[in-house]
Amino acid sequence: MDLVSIRIITSDVARLVAFYERATGVPATWATEDFAELNTGGGTLAIAGTRTVPLFASGSARPADNHSVIIEFLVDDVDRVHGNLTGFVSHFVNEPTTMPWGNRSLLFRDPDGNLVNFLTPVTPAAIQKFAR
């Protein structure tokens, strides 16, 4: 089994896609006006509009209602990325911080309030874990 994507349901697909394209530098591939994907090579972030929810089950997902998932992206230099996002991201949860497990992390919220973590491994164990 392989995890292939994380999907965010939003009431404004264009806004959220534009945010993630700018934040990640990854261009989206649009399937319809209600569905786009950003493929990072290591995984795909899918962004879908509320009109897609009934295709699975009515009421099964609500936009801007995530309180438990953090979307994480591996970046080369989290401190540099933080500088690039300052003035663009409106809500940083923390500044770049080195975590006990060896990653330097930058936590912020996307326009729908979803938590996003950009991380760079900095300890030998973390660097080895994420070696490509």
Model confidence pLDDT, tens digit, residues 84-121:
999 999 999 999 999 999 999 999 999 999 999 999 99
Cβ atoms of residues 12 and 43 within 8 Å = no
Integer Cα distance of 41 and 94 in angstroms: 27
Cβ atoms of residues 96 and 108 within 8 Å = no
Q: Which among 13, 7, 125, 24 is positioned nearest to 66, based on CA atoms?
A: 7
Model confidence pLDDT, tens digit, residues 10-44:
999 999 999 999 999 999 999 999 999 999 989 99
The position carrying tokens 């497990």 is 101
